[in-house]
Structure 1
């Protein structure tokens, strides 16, 4: 059995892809105020929240447990409204050798957007479950954030 895998989910939202991408590309530090699953975030290294060399420290809830990790932006594709984040350290390193989130905002023809999340991972051992709790976390956070973006 392979220790590496990918899980992808698409969530329909009401706010536009441009609003979603703007939030994640230029206002990521606000996410902690938009969903109760994120307890806090702070700059760990660097001065700009949206620079590839910046490292952020996150505290959030996965599977009912407070969890921590560090995160950095691996790539941003403005044309395709896609951002890839690398998660490491903290609780991530206890279970995974590699862990990435890819966020993509895709406009719907009839208004609104699809938010596509891809979780790419490599488990440290077969006993480690795939990160299904992160998919549930992303769904909940996406719904919470959409409510805010509709007001903005």
Structure 2
């Protein structure tokens, strides 16, 4: 398994972690990137739930079906395991681990993202472009400055 991790700071009023527990809001906040987020099984914000995403990546419309594998309320982290979709054309295993930290009492938040993956072949690229996509997506959310209910 490979692992890639990065982080970025964003300004956000309210609980950024809440967005990851209820990700259907992403299509309202950044519709140019996330077209739809649908709950297929389970309940929003619970381990075992299955979520379908339709998103734009590299100029193409992509899909991903993910299962929430873990939620740590204390660390404000959530782990998504991709179980179907475009990413699995290159990777036999793919997990996205998102963690949010507050930076003091202000609206500064630190968004940490880790990707755990196993390539299908040696020719498959490291998922650095996808990591950039995720970090840029958080910047899109910051630019939207739309407040969602907590």
Aligned to 1:71: 66
Q: Which runs of 5+ in 1 are unaligned?
A: none
When normalised by structure 2's length, the TM-score is: 0.87
SS at match of 1:89: strand
Match of 1:11 among 8, 29, 33: 8
Seen in structure 2, the aligned counterparts of structure 1 residues 58 and 150 have a Cα distance that, compared at 3 Å, is: closer
Aligned residues: 146
Q: Which runs of 5+ in 2 are unaligned?
A: none
Distance of 1:128 and 1:90 partners within structure 2: 16
User: Deviation of residue 140 (structure 1)?
Assistant: 1.9
Match of 2:127 among 119, 125, 131: 131
Superimposed CA distance per residue, residues 78-103 of structure 1 (whole angstroms, 9 cap, x where no aligned partner): 11111111112121221111101111
Distance of 1:80 and 1:129 partners within structure 2: 30
User: Deviation of residue 135 (structure 1)?
Assistant: 1.2
1:50 aligns with 2:45: yes
